[in-house]
Structure 1
Amino acid sequence: MLGRLRLAFAHPKHQLPTRGKVLTGCNWLHCYVAGALFKRDVSSVPAGVAVTAASITVRVYNQTNSVYGFWEMQGAWNEAGVTWNNAQPLSNRGDQVGSFSPTSQGGYTINLNADGVALVHRWIDSGVNDGVLIQSGGTNNGIDMRSSEYGTQNQRPTLTISYQ
């Protein structure tokens, strides 16, 4: 299954327009953006299936040598009103479900680990999906990724679910 991920750009106090991009880490002007939240509606996948694999694909257009982790979010949020402060991702962060080091521009497919596959299975069976957090491992060297609002559809982030 391939589908569009929903994106929320997380600023401490404001919901910022993404205009087709996601910035994480720091840039020349601001150093308050600490991560990005992704959520995908999985209601089209039948409950009770066996999820065998899951991956997230992102398109990076400003790379880094740093590692970025993908973490289970354990607190509800909605795209229209999320901020870093009201999502509280550091206190609502669960298991790490994947990681990547985007050292060049282009597409990256992050295969979710066993905890990530179990998380996607829970989203399908329970109907509760708080998404994932993408966060740096403490670096100030941020990355820029295409968002779910980016104009070219095949550059948008995707979630791929394999199931039986």
Structure 2
Amino acid sequence: MTVKPIVHTMTQMKQLHESLLALSQKKTDALKSNDTTGLQKLLTTERKHVQAIDKLEKARMDAVNQWYEARGLSYTEPTISEMLEHMEGSEQEALQAAYNELIIVLADLKQQEQLNAELTKQSLQFVNLSLDMLQPSLDNVNYGGNEEQSTQPKRSVFDSKA
């Protein structure tokens, strides 16, 4: 078995991850501009991308397992890194190139998603702060004082008989 199906799958994964990176950058813009409807649409599209990536990842794992079986090698969890150690020539170069390109896109995506997570966290902190400012605390509702005073009948100086 050749490495071509694995390289092809990894190339497709890289393209999907690049598309996911572009969506993540649009998500950053939506977070900055407080565009919740646009953000919801982006999240739906992002979910579809993740599902497609999951399918490709399963296909890649199956192809790697087949490659290991064809070579008579056994590993509990075969990886591309270990495959590269058992290869040489043009197949190794093609697989190494596809692997490196995918790793670079994944690193960029991880960095972009960390930025989005931080923006979301800051946005939630702002919302919580705004809510805290709008809702009075229980201590301020009665303007101080204790409950004993409020249960006693109130008498005015002018209520006395003459």
TM-score, scaled to structure 2? 0.20
Higher strand proportion (structure 1 or 2): 1
Would you tell me which structure has more helix in proportion to its own residues? 2
Greater radius of gyration (CA):
2
TM, length-normalised to structure 1: 0.20
